[in-house]
Amino acid sequence: SDPYQNLIPTEMYNHVITSHGIIMIFFFLMPVLIGGFGNYLIPLLISLPDLNLPRLNALSAWLLIPSSICLVISLYYGSGTGWTFYPPLSNSIFSSSIGTDFLMFSLHLAGVSSILSSINFICTIYSVIYFSRNNERI
């Protein structure tokens, strides 16, 4: 293997490495830690068979698919922002590519997915607290 072999162009290599970091953080770690462990541990901790809002739970899982598709589209168009999205590079003046827009939209969809999961967890926990308080008063 030769370090100067150009299997892919330099700019495309930067896009692939950026997308790898985004996929690992926002499409693996966050959904597994928040959604996966939350869906498994919260019902166990409060002795329920399932969360209160299963359709919201399914919607939060299904939102990750169009979000990841937008991420792949952004890789095709290219966006030179890096995975941190610092403003000089993610600004419309320096990065006029539509890939940046797809990348940001992808992360917004992933964020909406995490927020929906969190709403489901909060509603489940508060409903258990509310019903346990009402049963104590009776």
Position 1 scores a pLDDT of 38
Q: For the chain, give the mean pLDDT.
A: 83
- Please state, for a pLDDT cut of 90, what percent of the chain lies above it: 38
What letter would DSSP give residue 95? -
pLDDT tens digits, one per residue of 32-88: 998 889 999 999 999 889 899 999 999 999 999 999 999 888 888 776 666 667 666
Pairwise CA distance, residues 67 & 109, whole Å: 5
Residue 111 has pLDDT above 90, yes or no: yes
Position 43 scores a pLDDT of 92
Pairwise CA distance, residues 137 & 133, whole Å: 6
